[in-house]
Structure 1
Amino acid sequence: MHHDTTPEEDRADLDVPRRILDRSGFGAAVPLFAADLNDAADTEAARQAVAAHASRLWTEAARTDVGTVDDRPLYWARLRLAARLRTWRPAFDLAEEDRAGLLHLLETASRGITELLFPPGERLLRIVVTGFDPFRLDEDPACANPSGAAALDLNGWTFPVGGRTAVVRTAVFPVRWADFDAGLVEEALGRVHGEADAVLTLSRGRPDRFDLEVWNGVWRGGGTDNLGVARTGRALPPDAPEWTRSSLPVEEIAARVGGPVVVNTEVTEVPAGGGAPVVRPGGPTPGSAARRGGGGDYLSNEIAYRNTLLRDRAGSSIPAGHVHLPRTGSTGEHAPVLARVREIVAAVAATLA
């Protein structure tokens, strides 16, 4: 069977991604991975190779001693590895479901998802923060995502809070509807909602402001993802609520952090009786159907919705919610944004201490 690479993987062959990989040193991961794959004598050996190379990508990308944090080498290297794995023709019989399992392992282990684990200890505050891959790459193949950079910057951060120690673990999500449909958010964050003390999702938003999104909607508004796929309609079946709400201490965050930090309660809804969609600055009205959450109707709204729904279904009241980070023009502009994200995470931790 012939295995075609995806449009996203094909984009990794363009000049700009190649230059990013060469400059960062992450390009070296590709031939090393290919060699280990070709040496694999069976599915288990392939699994070990994929796990090792994927987790090494994550570990290297999340190193904190690198100066400017750049989320792009991890993104492009992962795609080059995925393309190699998808088109690999092993010397042994590899079942389709086994190849799919290897591709899934590559994703989760290189995104920090398999590492969302915390040490035991009464005195720890466990905080999870997630970001996203770059997107809209056809418009700007060099673009970065400050939320992905923030996840790399924060992973493993520990800091004192009162008499306790906060420990941060992070992951980076794909900008792909199919992964959300397949339950990647629930796989990554489901277990965490029994262990963590706070779960913050981050994404790239409007220029020059941080939005603390209060309301999340179940509606997908047709945005195109990194595979060129658009989705319109409900994210989840009718038994899921139209709206979920942030439990982040938004007023305290805004007061502590200062600057362009906005508590955003606006939504767009179809009112209970039906009719045209209406913008509600103060949040949804009873019985309405969601059309846009505070964070819109794309994947950032959806991760916010799924995260807070996991909280509710776990019967939990931990701080969980979404922060839209300012849209930055380049990785060089990440630094002040990342410093402010640390202040936001510290503000959440302070309310838990």
Structure 2
Amino acid sequence: MAYEERRLDTPLPNTGANVTTNDTTPIATRILQATGFDTFGPAFATALCGANGRTEVTSYDQALAMVKSKGTELWRAAVDRVQGRRAQPAGSTYPRSDDRMLYWARVQMTKALRQWKPSFALTDVQKEELQWQLERHSRGQLDINLPEGNAPGGAKYRRMIMSGFDTFTLGVPGTPNTGLRNGNPSGATALEMDGREFTLSDGSILHVESYILPVSYDPFNLGMQEDTIGPYFRPGPKRVDASITISQGSANVFNIEAFNGRFHGPSAGNDGKIYCPAGNERLPSTVLPIGTISGTAGVDPITLPNSGCDVYPPVRWLGYQSANPWMKDFPPQFSNGTLPVPAMVTGSSRSGVIRPPGATSQGTEGFDVTWHTNYTYFPDCTQPATVSVPSNGVMNSMPDLATVAPPPATSCARQGGGGDYLSNESAYRNTVLRDVFALDIPAGHIHVPVMTNFFGGTTATGGGTRNDNAITDARFEAYRTAIVQQTKNLLVIIGNSLTFR
């Protein structure tokens, strides 16, 4: 069983002052039953293996077509649930806005596919391709459908693509822990925004398409993100007007990232893999071969020539080989966001957003918004010493631009404003691709506040009695609702910036 799939059998701990359920059912099962998504894994397994002695899939081509169809079906069901078009299970009062059922249902399906023993031979490449296509289709990556021309009635379309992430920091498989109940508001926002349209200030129509990214390095190394958005960066009637990456960041604040770094650090992905080990500042210029990541039927294998800390966009999109030999500035060490920051930090995005219990920000509504201008760099790309530049600290307005210095041109990236995990990497890959196609569009990263806040503690932190066995409570739901609403407001602000172009 794969590392992530082992969490399917892990329950929450039965701790806290208000444990009344004592439920040892795995949390994945509880979430899937509460949302009605407990049918997708079993139905997928039946479609693969057949029922009542009948074989459903008899060839690789049939398997590939079925995997694509079932993956898309899961994505559309998750979007429909969040947007109110899918019926609730009988008697369920579970909130529609949750993102977690998509993650756990997908993991059930990858497990079934991995354990499948068909009656015909499959090569290793074909097995990997089936998993790859299930991942991509169930994340909405091949469901993007930006409109052409003008809207009915003649209004101009403005086309936006946005990404969210899976839930993460889920703990060690098999060990009960409260991290298992984490949600990701960026994923919830992606499900809420997919296909949505908004009338902008000039009468044009903002059309939004969304997709979900995994919290694991291998799919990024294989070019999953570029393959998703790249087709819409090319010239044509569906070319994107704005490309936004979104992830979960720190407490009680929206960070609009200024500088994205070409580096990822020592944090493990959801699959337990680490490519940049802690305890050794693996310099980006140090050549330490670590082997090859398998490709799929449509993707070349990727050989990482160094410690695996640097980010290497795929040659098919970058236009040149950046990995071997390593080149300092191709692609660049830092890539800037080009979002309409002054409009985004004014505070207007907070209007009408009910602040969750225990949240702290200025004013009385929503969360603070800041232009996040911090980063860390190697002054000498051959030496382990680093320099950290703090953010400006100004909330809900622009700082003095004279106080914001970009990274030195002679340096190498150690962290972007969004740190050194996959959120920064998604931001970097997005803005680098923008520049590959020489696009003058809003492209950048929004770190939304952390949403996993349950009752427990003092009145100042939300009050209530702690129950570590609860899969949701009113505080948890209030955070998701507020974060998704304010993120939506920020995306519309970005859309309105397009009316001046």
Equivalent positions of 1:75-114 (< 5 A) are 75-114=103-142
Equivalent positions of 1:46-57 (< 5 A) are 46-57=63-74
Structure with more strand by fraction:
1
Counterpart amino acid of 1:101? Answer: E
Equivalent positions of 1:139-288 (< 5 A) are 139=177, 140-161=179-200, 162-194=202-234, 195-232=239-276, 233-236=309-312, 237=323, 238=327, 239-255=330-346, 256-258=348-350, 259-271=367-379, 276-281=385-390, 282=404, 283-288=406-411
Q: 1:44 aligns with which of 55, 61, 65?
A: 61
Counterpart amino acid of 1:193? Answer: F
In the TM superposition, residue 45 of structure 1 has moved relative to its aligned partner by 1.6
1:306-344: CA deviation from partner (whole Å, max 9, x where unpaired) = 000000001111110000010012551200111101110
Q: 2:145 aligns with which of 117, 124, 130?
A: 117
Do 1:116 and 1:192's aligned partners in 2 also have CA atoms closer than 8 Å? no
Counterpart amino acid of 1:268? Answer: T
1:82-131: CA deviation from partner (whole Å, max 9, x where unpaired) = 01011101112222222211111101110010012212114211101101
> 330-339 or 102-111, which moves further after superposition?
330-339
1:128-148: CA deviation from partner (whole Å, max 9, x where unpaired) = 110100111015111111111
Q: Distance in 1 between matches of 2:186 and 2:233?
A: 21
Counterpart amino acid of 1:337? Answer: I
Counterpart amino acid of 1:48? Answer: A
In the TM superposition, residue 50 of structure 1 has moved relative to its aligned partner by 1.1
In the TM superposition, residue 53 of structure 1 has moved relative to its aligned partner by 1.2
Q: Distance in 2 between matches of 1:227 and 1:23?
A: 25
* Aligned sequence identity (%): 33
Specify whether residues 89 and 125 from structure 1 end up closer, same or farther in structure 2 by C-alpha distance, changes over 3 A only: same
Counterpart amino acid of 2:255? Answer: D
Structure with more helix by fraction:
1
Q: Distance in 2 between matches of 1:275 and 1:335?
A: 43
Equivalent positions of 1:281-320 (< 5 A) are 281=390, 282=404, 283-320=406-443
Q: 1:137 aligns with which of 170, 176, 181?
A: 170
> 198-207 or 275-284, which moves further after superposition?
275-284
Do 1:207 and 1:326's aligned partners in 2 also have CA atoms closer than 8 Å? yes
> 294-303 or 35-44, which moves further after superposition?
35-44
1:257-308: CA deviation from partner (whole Å, max 9, x where unpaired) = 2540010111111225866211123331221111110000010000000000
Output the TM-score relative to the length of structure 2: 0.68
Specify whether residues 275 and 179 from structure 1 end up closer, same or farther in structure 2 by C-alpha distance, changes over 3 A only: closer
In the TM superposition, residue 71 of structure 1 has moved relative to its aligned partner by 0.9
Do 1:218 and 1:243's aligned partners in 2 also have CA atoms closer than 8 Å? yes
> 42-51 or 315-324, which moves further after superposition?
42-51
Output the TM-score relative to the length of structure 1: 0.95
Question: Equivalent residue for 1:26?
Answer: 37
Question: Equivalent residue for 1:71?
Answer: 99
> 43-52 or 195-204, which moves further after superposition?
43-52
Structure 2 gaps, min length 5: 11-25, 50-55, 87-94, 151-155, 172-176, 277-308, 313-322, 351-366, 391-403, 454-475
Larger radius of gyration: 2
Counterpart amino acid of 1:149? Answer: A
Question: Equivalent residue for 1:60?
Answer: 77
Q: Distance in 2 between matches of 1:125 and 1:278?
A: 40
What secondary structure is seen at the aligned counterpart in 1 of 2:266? strand
Q: Distance in 2 between matches of 1:61 and 1:305?
A: 28
1:37-78: CA deviation from partner (whole Å, max 9, x where unpaired) = 121121122122212211111011112017531111100000
Q: Distance in 1 between matches of 2:38 and 2:430?
A: 33
> 120-129 or 73-82, which moves further after superposition?
120-129
Q: 1:126 aligns with which of 139, 144, 159?
A: 159
Q: Distance in 1 between matches of 2:209 and 2:342?
A: 24
In the TM superposition, residue 22 of structure 1 has moved relative to its aligned partner by 1.6
